[in-house]
Amino acid sequence: MNNLKERIERSFSDSTTDPLAAMAAFTELREALEAGAVRSAEPDASAPTGWRVNAWVKQGILLGFRLGQLAASGSELSFVDKHTYPARKFSPEQGVRIVPGGSAVRSGAYLAKSVVCMPPMYVNVGAYVDEGTMIDSHALVGSCAQIGKRVHLSAAAQVGGVLEPINASPVILEDDVLVGGNCGVYEGTVVRKRAVLAAGTVLTRGTPVYDVVHGAVLRAEGDTPLIIPEGAVVVPGARAVSKGKGLEWGLSVYTPVIVKYRDEKTELSLTLEDLLR
């Protein structure tokens, strides 16, 4: 892959590179992304967040948009998009179940065997979705998002895409995370294993998370994204405005709150997951 990395970096940074050579490098990257052989971010125990961002992969994805020309889709449905990113086609042997009804997976995304996609849903380029994950109706997996094993993205859940800046961490949901309906996870947030996001929870870089169990406030700082601890159960909450007109008017603002960590009762409430897969 070192040779591919060098070719992508050269094609991305030098606009005088032979277009055919650039297209060949991009096509190889796209196929590697679909096979799960290359990822925009991958586990790395030596990194502060436990994940290493592969900036050159993001460069390759952006290169594909630069090289792409509008082209009609060859499917029965009508699409006009960059010809470098057609809708992916799947076979029964690949073990991915995509129910009819308006779902789409963009070329350059990886879906492992036993992933279930309920209509309508969308997976964007560079995303990595691991085994046993369910992407429910109206859910979005954004560009370069990394989704672990046995994750459930409930109806209307939004996992944001992060393509730029190039070295920014994508949104990462580790194994066995449950994301409730109408949740939003954005701006490079990392959700550790077995965490539960209750319906309506929104996580962003600029929103502090209040851990009432440990008496701590979790924030993104510098290059470190917001990180939700392993097993945390996060619900939508509110905190009072403490000064100015907000105090005078008795206003409060939204904030996510960690109210507990997963226990036996939480596990029992999630047994429905196995029946849905």
| Type of residue numbered 249 | W
The answer to whether the beta carbons of residues 147 and 133 sit under 8 Å apart is yes
So where are the chain's domains? 89-276
- pLDDT the model gives residue 275: 44
Question: pLDDT tens string for the chain (277 positions)?
Answer: 779 999 999 999 998 889 999 999 999 999 999 999 999 999 999 999 999 999 999 999 999 999 998 887 666 667 788 899 888 889 889 999 888 888 999 999 999 999 999 999 999 999 999 999 999 999 999 999 999 999 999 999 999 998 888 888 999 999 999 999 999 999 999 999 999 999 999 999 999 999 999 999 999 999 899 999 999 999 999 999 999 998 999 999 999 999 999 987 766 555 545 544 5
- Global confidence as pTM: 0.88
The arrangement of strands across the sheet holding 134-135 comes to 97-98, 116-117, 134-135, 152-153, 178-179, 196-197, 232-240, 252-261, 209-211, 216-218
Q: Quick: pLDDT tens for 173-220.
A: 999 999 999 999 999 999 999 999 999 999 999 999 999 999 999 999
Fold classification of 89-276 (topology level): UDP N-Acetylglucosamine Acyltransferase; domain 1 (2.160.10)
